[in-house]
């Protein structure tokens, strides 16, 4: 049974929408999990807005997203690494633009908003925790919101309906292997 009906423009949601998903941890697979969820949702007719924080928008999933009409992908563009001296103006600008995109997405009433790596903006203080909590409150009960990152503050974790921690047990990177296009990115 579908989660939606197309009476009027947009979807009229049955109960069950507006849950908060948090995928976090040092292990790999958080973005891959959200990509799979995004494709599954679009395949079932759901509208998805996918915004990447702290990434450059050049990994393999973007090419697939461009081919799927119900997926609206956005990334601020080339994102330089944050060096040991901390974030630069471009990092704050990218975080602000990504957050603005996520906020604007709410007004378009998608079924799912994915904020990939938004939780890592807290590690570098390019967004404030209060901003993310505000985003959660605006989505709760209305739009499913997915957030990923290496760590999650306890008060954000407490607001989540889904929480999965990714734990890395083994990775070839630590034996000198390089990231492979199509596998790691």
Q: What is the pLDDT of residues 30-75, one digit of tens each?
A: 999 999 999 999 999 999 999 999 888 888 899 999 999 999 999 9
User: What confidence tier does 3 reach under pLDDT thresholds 50, 70, 90?
Assistant: very low
Domain extent, residue 64, equals 19-175
- Please indicate, yes or no, if residue 13 is contained in any of the structural domains: no
Q: Does 13 have pLDDT greater than 60? A: no
β pairing state of 20-24 and 162-165: parallel
How does pLDDT run across 82-137, given as a tens digit for each residue? 877 888 899 999 999 999 999 999 999 999 999 999 999 999 999 999 999 999 99
Q: Does 12 have pLDDT greater than 80? A: no
- Please indicate, yes or no, if residue 11 is contained in any of the structural domains: no
- Please indicate, yes or no, if residue 84 is contained in any of the structural domains: yes
- Please indicate, yes or no, if residue 38 is contained in any of the structural domains: yes
C-alpha to C-alpha distance for 11 and 56, rounded to whole angstroms? 31
Q: Does 7 have pLDDT greater than 50? A: no
Q: What is the pTM of this model?
A: 0.88
Number of separate domains in the chain: 1
CA atoms within 13 A on the CB side of 82: 18
User: What confidence tier does 14 reach under pLDDT thresholds 50, 70, 90?
Assistant: low
Mean pLDDT score, 152-177: 92
Within a 10 A sphere around the Cβ of 67, how many other Cβ atoms?
Answer: 7
The phi-psi region of residue 147 (left if phi > 0; otherwise alpha if psi is between -120 and 50; otherwise beta) is: beta
- Please indicate, yes or no, if residue 49 is contained in any of the structural domains: yes
CATH number, domain of 86, equals 3.40.50.300
Determine the pLDDT at residue 49.
98
C-alpha to C-alpha distance for 141 and 148, rounded to whole angstroms? 19
Q: Does 1 have pLDDT greater than 60? A: no
C-alpha to C-alpha distance for 45 and 143, rounded to whole angstroms? 15
- Please indicate, yes or no, if residue 8 is contained in any of the structural domains: no
| Alpha-carbon torsion angle 68, 74, 137, 120, nearest 10 | 120
């Amino acid at each position: 049974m579908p989660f939606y009906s197309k009476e009027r423009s947009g979807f009229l949601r049955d109960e069950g929408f507006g849950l908060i998903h948090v995928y976090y941890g040092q292990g790999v697979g958080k973005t891959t999990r959200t990509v799979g969820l995004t494709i599954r949702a679009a395949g079932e007719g759901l509208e998805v807005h996918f915004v990447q924080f702290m990434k450059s928008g050049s990994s393999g999933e973007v090419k697939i997203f461009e081919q799927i009409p119900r997926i609206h992908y956005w990334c601020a563009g080339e994102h330089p690494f944050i060096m040991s001296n901390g974030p630069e103006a471009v990092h704050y600008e990218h975080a602000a633009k990504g957050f603005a995109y996520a906020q604007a997405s709410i007004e378009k009433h998608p079924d799912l908003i994915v904020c990939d790596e938004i939780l890592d903006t807290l590690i570098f203080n390019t967004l404030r925790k209060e901003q993310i909590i505000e985003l959660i409150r605006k989505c709760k009960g209305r739009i499913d919101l997915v957030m990923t990152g290496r760590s999650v503050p306890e008060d954000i974790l407490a607001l989540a309906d889904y929480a999965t921690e990714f734990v890395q047990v083994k990775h070839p990177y630590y034996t000198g292997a390089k990231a492979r296009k199509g596998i790691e990115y």
